[in-house]
Amino acid sequence: MRRAGLALGLAFLWAPVILLVAYAFSADRIPFQWGGFSLRWFRALAENERLLEAALLSLRIAAGAATLATLLGGLAGWALARFGPFRGRALFGVLVGSPLVLPEVVTGLSLLLLFVALQGAVGWPAGRGALTVLLAHTTIGMAYVAVVVQARLAEQGRLLEEAAADLGARPFTVFRTVTLPLIAPALLAGWLLAFTLSLDDLVVASFVSGPAGTTLPMYLFGQIRLGLTPEINALGAVILALAGSALALVGWVLRRAARRMG
């Protein structure tokens, strides 16, 4: 009975994805119509320069935003878990959690209004594009990283760090030799989460970006509104293959790390 429920749910989640990938290999011009096996849509994908450009921009923004978010979010999560009470802690906690719960349209609109106001007041950021999207995605990503890191540290407790300090390690050495290895998996997971969120975001990017900064979701949104082509099937197949391999790689790294820690 429970197994049937799980199978039903997974089938619902996977059916569109499997069909999307399967019809990537169809020669037909209409998506989701079988016209014999063909790789033509993968070739079309490889030759679609605007799409590739948008994808490259998205990847660059996602990598940058995820890295910045991991640094800032890691610090924020560590502060929340280990700094104890400090002035402004309540405000800090609310601010860290806000991007997680604000609707995308609100985040997008408010950040855009900030960028417009900043440009008017101090002239930076000059215009909108990749940089403003990067700033917005960093803000959203750091909230997720902070939550993951804080949870990891809270679950571990301070015992190991206290033991290291007791054995004569200075605070920075404690951080480098104990805390950092402990939160490394959380940082990796947080980076991936921030990267994925950035790659997938349409709404916030649409608000804060300008004509020069068309990300992949923005490009796809325009294309889907104009009419579907099987190129989206091919793109889906490529992304799923990449995500699957990335997942396998990360799983392998995390398993190795877990084994080393016993």
Partner 1 sequence: MRRLLLLAPPFLWLLAFVAAPVAILLAIALAEPAMGVPPFTPPLAWDGEGPRWRGTLLSFAILAEDRFYLDAFLRSLRVAFLSALLCLLLAYPMALGILRARPSRRLPLLLLVLLPFWTGFLLRIGAWIGLLRDEGWLNGVLRGLGLIEAPVPMLYTDLALYLGMVHSYLPFAVLPLYAALSRLDPALEEAAADLGARPAVAFLTVTLPLSFPGALAGFLLVFIPAAGEFVIPELLGPPEAQLVGRVLWTEFFQNRDWPLAAALAVALLALLVLPIRLFQRLEARP
CA of residue 4 relative to chain centroid, distance: 32
Site for partner 1 in 36-65 (CB under 8 A): none
CA of residue 54 relative to chain centroid, distance: 17
Instruction: Say if residues 164 and 178 touch (Cβ distance below 8 Å).
Output: yes
Site for partner 1 in 236-255 (CB under 8 A): 236, 239-240, 243-244, 247, 251
Nearer to partner 1 among residue 225 and residue 260 (C-beta): 225
Q: Among all chains, which residue has been given the structure tokens 């959380």?
A: 186
Instruction: Say if residues 236 and 17 touch (Cβ distance below 8 Å).
Output: yes
Q: How far is the CB of 169 from partner 1 (least distance, A)?
A: 15
Nearer to partner 1 among residue 38 and residue 98 (C-beta): 98
Query: Is residue 235 involved in binding partner 1 (CB under 8 A)?
Result: yes
Q: Applying CB under 8 A, which of residues 28, 52, 202, 210 lies at the interface with partner 1?
A: 202
**DSSP SS3 for 32:** coil
Query: Is residue 196 involved in binding partner 1 (CB under 8 A)?
Result: yes
**DSSP SS3 for 228:** coil
Which stretch, 36-44, 71-79, 122-130, 180-188, contacts partner 1 (CB under 8 A)?
71-79
Nearer to partner 1 among residue 16 and residue 181 (C-beta): 16
**DSSP SS3 for 177:** helix
Query: Is residue 180 involved in binding partner 1 (CB under 8 A)?
Result: no
Q: Among all chains, which residue has been given the structure tokens 């979010």?
A: 73
Instruction: Say if residues 152 and 185 touch (Cβ distance below 8 Å).
Output: yes
Query: Is residue 156 involved in binding partner 1 (CB under 8 A)?
Result: no
Query: Is residue 8 involved in binding partner 1 (CB under 8 A)?
Result: yes
Site for partner 1 in 12-41 (CB under 8 A): 12-14, 16-17, 19-20, 23, 30-33
- Please report how the helices 104-122 and 130-156 are oriented relative to each other, as an axis angle in degrees rounded to 10: 120
CA distances from 70 to 14, 38, 177, 188, 248 (A): 30, 41, 19, 8, 21
Number of residues that bind partner 1 (CB under 8 A): 84
Query: Is residue 257 involved in binding partner 1 (CB under 8 A)?
Result: no
Site for partner 1 in 77-136 (CB under 8 A): 78-79, 83, 86, 88, 91-92, 95-99, 101-107, 109-111, 113-114, 116-117, 120, 135-136
Nearer to partner 1 among residue 48 and residue 233 (C-beta): 233
Query: Is residue 184 involved in binding partner 1 (CB under 8 A)?
Result: no
Cβ-Cβ contacts under 8 Å for 17 (sequence gap 6 or more): 236, 240
DSSP label at residue 65: H
